[in-house]
Amino acid sequence: MEKSEFRKNAEDMIYLTACAVNNRKPSQERIADLDLQKLFEVCQEHILTACTAYVLESVGIKDNEFTQAKEKAVRKNILLDAERKKILDRLETEKIWYMPLKGCILKKWYPKLGMRQMSDNDILFDISRRSDVRSIMKEFGFSLKAERVAVDEYVKAPMFNFEMHGELFMEYQVGAMADYYSSIKERMIKDDDNEYGYHFSNEEFYLFMLAHEYKHFTRGGTGVRSLADTYIFLRKFGDSLDWDYLNAELEKMGIADFERSNRELSLKVFSMEELTAEDKKNLDYYVMSGTYGTQENFVVNAMKSEGGGSRAKYFIYRFFPPVRYLEGSVPWVRKSKLLIPFAYVYRLLRGITVSRKSFMKEFKYLGRKKKK
């Protein structure tokens, strides 16, 4: 799809999503010329298909692809809830502390079941019990898809994906965030209705949500759904939050400007207020990033932050990243400094083979930019 078409359909998606999260019916005039096929493609890119489907159905527009996506989202929400309960109950039995994160909490504040589509479930747990958690997940039929320094990703057919986090941020990803969350237990509140479960206060939930969003925003980008999450949270809790505390913590984290921009944009967009030229420019970054960001954004952002704007420095960074990054992306290198040279070779071979498409796309983009 051409970028101009993508942007036009993204405008329709955002309007319909705003109607969905505010329980409003769209005007017939506004939706008279929808291109449902292209709208569906854009919604899929931003994982806002179920939101849009609910609104379309409210005005009598039924489309098979939208309906199936909505029904799948509802079913997946229900099944993930049931599977998560099984896992958490077992963690209780084994006396392993835990805390569900992000989407599996946010989803309950959306107006209807399935509106906040779920790709996976994230759970923070006591990493000293990692081997026990691996045994539990294996017993429940999960396979270990990916192992990183402090995160294990598990999958099970037909649709289950759980990320078990021993830490919230690794230093190689966002150094300041890793420092801020290094003593995570101090920020957690014990649940009242179990023995080993924890949760965040509303302020801490907001801070973590923003920190996670910022990580994606400054790397490959993040999509419109993240703005919707911010809007949903602020609409529910904004007036009751301790903003003096939040502002002080945001300064410590170095994301006060990002929070302000993100908050103002989300409230404007989903309250359907008129946007300034600057607002539209900022929104376009979210629109063109898709849910999980783009390779182009990653290259541009990394070239600025790690390469100082130089392609040569960026190439050096990508082929020979700092050891702190190497230890995060290749866990076994932590066993011995002697493994560092082998880890560099391993990363290159993995890029050429396992991640070949992404690898080639990245360097093709760099080459194309160089010709301009």
Which SS3 state, helix, strand or coil, does residue 80 take? Answer: helix
- Whether 51 and 106 map to the same domain: the answer is no
User: Domain end: 33, 62, 91, which one?
Assistant: 62
Tell me, yes or no, whether 298 lies in a domain: no
- End-to-end CA separation in angstroms for the chain: 23
Which SS3 state, helix, strand or coil, does residue 98 take? Answer: strand
Q: How far is CA 280 from the centre of its chain?
A: 22
- Whether 157 and 222 map to the same domain: the answer is no
Q: Which of 135, 140, 345, 115 has its CA nearest to residue 232?
A: 115
Tell me, yes or no, whether 70 lies in a domain: no
In Å, how far are 171, 306, 326, 334, 351 from 344, measured between CA atoms? Answer: 19, 18, 8, 13, 11
- Whether 96 and 169 map to the same domain: the answer is yes
Tell me, yes or no, whether 69 lies in a domain: no
- Whether 81 and 192 map to the same domain: the answer is yes
- Whether 80 and 152 map to the same domain: the answer is yes
What is the 8-class DSSP label of residue 27? P
Number of domain units in the chain: 4
Strand 121-125, strand 98-101: pairing:
antiparallel
Q: Which two tokens stand for residue 108?
A: 């309950």
Residue found under tokens 């993240």: 226
Report, as ranges of residue numbers, the positions in the chain whose pLDDT lies below 50. 369-372
In a 13 Å sphere around the CA of 249, the CA atoms on its Cβ side amount to: 19
Confidence at residue 146, expressed as pLDDT on a 0 to 100 scale: 87
Q: HEC profile for 298-311? A: HHHHHHHHCCCCCH
User: Domain end: 137, 167, 198, which one?
Assistant: 198
- Rounded to 5°, angle at Cα 276 from 267 and 265: 20
Confidence at residue 370, expressed as pLDDT on a 0 to 100 scale: 46
Tell me, yes or no, whether 180 lies in a domain: no
- Whether 87 and 163 map to the same domain: the answer is yes
- Centre a 10 Å sphere on the Cβ of residue 247 and count the other Cβ atoms it contains: 12
Tell me, yes or no, whether 316 lies in a domain: yes
Query: What pTM does this model have?
Result: 0.87
Q: Check which CATH number belongs to the domain holding 128 and give it.
A: 3.30.460.40
Q: Phi first, then psi: what are they for 183, rounded to 5°?
A: -115, 65
Q: At what angle do helices 295-305 and 356-371 cross, to 10 degrees?
A: 70
Task: Mark residue 254 as left, alpha or beta (left: phi above 0; alpha: psi -120 to 50; beta: remaining).
Answer: left
The b-or-e profile of 11-25 (16+ CB within 10 A means b, else e) is ebbbbbbbbbbeeee
User: Domain end: 198, 232, 253, which one?
Assistant: 198
- Whether 280 and 322 map to the same domain: the answer is no
| CA diameter of the chain | 67
pLDDT tens track for 156-198: 999 999 999 998 886 555 657 778 888 899 999 999 999 999 9
Q: HEC profile for 229-289? A: HHHHHHHHHHHHCCHHHHHHHHHHHCCHHHHHHHHHHHHHHHCCCCCCHHHHHHHHHHHHH
Rounded CA gap, 330 and 322, in Å?
Answer: 12
Containing structural domain, residue 330: 308-372
Confidence at residue 365, expressed as pLDDT on a 0 to 100 scale: 66
Residue found under tokens 């599977």: 83
Which SS3 state, helix, strand or coil, does residue 161 take? Answer: strand
What is the 8-class DSSP label of residue 187? G
- Whether 81 and 167 map to the same domain: the answer is yes
- Whether 89 and 193 map to the same domain: the answer is yes
Q: HEC profile for 105-146? A: HHHHHCCCCCCCCCCCEEEEECHHHHHHHHHHHHHCCCEEEE
Confidence at residue 173, expressed as pLDDT on a 0 to 100 scale: 55
- Whether 193 and 205 map to the same domain: the answer is no
